[in-house]
Structure formats: C-alpha cells, structure tokens
C-alpha cells in the first residue's frame, strides 16, 4: 500500500493529501509549502501544495526523476535526473519553479537577447541545454556534447558537461577549458568580479578568463 502524506503544523492542525507518494521517495516541506511525487498510469506528477491556503499545483515530473527536494526558501523544486543506465554514471541536478516546468535562464538586458533552457531529446541522453532567442524567433543553438548552461556572466553563458567548459556569446560557442585528464574537469567556480573561472584538473588548480561582456 502506497503512503499518503499528512502534515501537522505547530497548532496541531492536520492536513491530509489524497494522492499516494511514489515508493522510495518522500514528501518535502519548507514552511507552508510541501512537495511530493505521485504516480499513475500516465506517469509521474509533482504536487506542490500550500498548507496555509489549501491550494495545489500539479505538473509532470521529469522522466527518471530520483525524488525531489524543496529549496530552503520554498521557491524551487530540485530533482536528480539519471543520464544513463550505468549506476556509476553521474546525474544532473535540475531545478524547476514551483509553478512547474524548467524555467529558462534569460540573458541580462543589453546583450544578444538570448535565453538558455533545457530541451528534452531522448536521442541525446535526455535533457540538455540550448541557447535560443528570448523572443522565440529563429533557431536554437544546440551546445557541443550536450553541455548544460548553468549561469550567465554578463552576456556570456557558462556551460559545463563534466569534461569541458564552454562560453557562449550570441550564437558563438567556444571552449574555455578542456578535459585535463581522462576524468575531465572537476567542476568550476567563478571568481568575484566574474573575470576568472577556476577549475580543478591535473595536476592541480587552473584558471581561465571569462570573455568580456
């Protein structure tokens, strides 16, 4: 029998939720906001419920979701998405606004009018980032090796796939740092002022300049 969550506030008020939680996952709570994954014949859904107002938003869960977490401010739902069937392979951490879906990351004003967002394509290992015109015109720039664009620095998008770090400006994508070892780049950190990107390779710590805004 699948668990059905109940939530109790400090005044002793009990709120019960009718939908069953998917086995192996758990409900998450941040303040008056709770979130959980339910399952049915049509697939998995994410439920986001406000206990104070008794309102609820439901949207489809991303395929292969390994449970969800609420951000500490209750503003986003976080989820791990498997990138392959190999249990030793890494997973991608995705975030969605509580209204549902994966929100685009808009380039700051005064640049090329671009937006970075995720595209679902099972033929390319599922979700990966693309760069497009924010107004919806024109075509998409599909990034090399399915790199995920994690942030904008000025009008430069930084995109990372675990072994290469790319910089994207307008419709031009360039390699900032390649895999220094067979294991690839070990993450990155942007310095204050956004002029340098630091990353770990072999034999140690490296840095590379971010293209000027």
Indicate whether 85 pLDDT > 70.
no
Query: pLDDT at position 137, please?
Result: 84
Q: Is residue 56 part of a domain?
A: yes
Would residue 70 count as lying in a domain?
A: yes
Please give the residue range of the domain that contains residue 31.
1-98
In the chain, how many domains are there?
1
- 77/144 Cα distance (integer angstroms): 27
Give the pLDDT confidence score for residue 113 in this predicted structure.
92
Q: Does the residue 210 lie in any domain?
A: no
pLDDT beyond 70 at 149? yes
Question: Is residue 174 a part of any domain in this protein?
Answer: no
pTM of the model: 0.55
Distance CA 92, CA 22 (A): 21
Whether residue 106 is contained in a domain is answered as no
Question: Which pLDDT score is estimated for 20?
Answer: 75
Is residue 118 very low, low, confident or very high in pLDDT (cuts 50, 70, 90)?
A: confident
Q: Which two tokens stand for residue 188?
A: 């990155």
Pairwise CA distance, residues 15 & 103, whole Å: 30
- As a whole number of angstroms, the distance between CA 29 and CA 52 comes to 13
For residue 204, the surrounding DSSP H or E stretch is: none
Would residue 22 count as lying in a domain? Answer: yes
The pLDDT, as a whole number, for residue 82 is 60
């Amino acid at each position: 029998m699948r668990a059905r969550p109940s939530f109790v506030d400090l005044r002793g008020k009990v709120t019960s939720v009718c939908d069953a939680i998917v086995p192996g996952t758990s409900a998450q709570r941040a303040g008056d906001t709770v979130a959980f994954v339910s399952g049915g014949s049509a697939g998995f859904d994410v439920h986001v419920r406000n206990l104070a107002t008794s309102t609820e938003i439901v949207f489809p869960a991303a395929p292969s979701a390994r449970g969800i977490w609420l951000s500490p401010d209750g503003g986003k739902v976080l989820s791990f998405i498997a990138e392959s069937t190999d249990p030793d392979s890494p997973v991608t951490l995705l975030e969605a606004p509580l209204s549902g879906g994966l929100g685009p990351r808009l380039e700051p004003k005064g640049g090329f009018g671009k937006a970075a967002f995720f595209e679902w394509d099972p033929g390319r290992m599922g979700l990966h980032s693309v760069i497009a015109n924010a107004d919806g015109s024109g075509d998409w720039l599909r990034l090399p090796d399915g790199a995920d664009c994690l942030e904008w620095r000025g009008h430069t998008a930084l995109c990372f796939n675990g072994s290469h770090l790319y910089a994207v400006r307008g419709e031009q994508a360039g390699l900032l740092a390649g895999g220094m070892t067979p294991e690839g780049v070990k993450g990155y950190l942007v310095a204050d002022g956004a002029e340098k990107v630091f990353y770990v390779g072999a034999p140690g710590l490296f840095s590379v300049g971010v293209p000027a805004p």
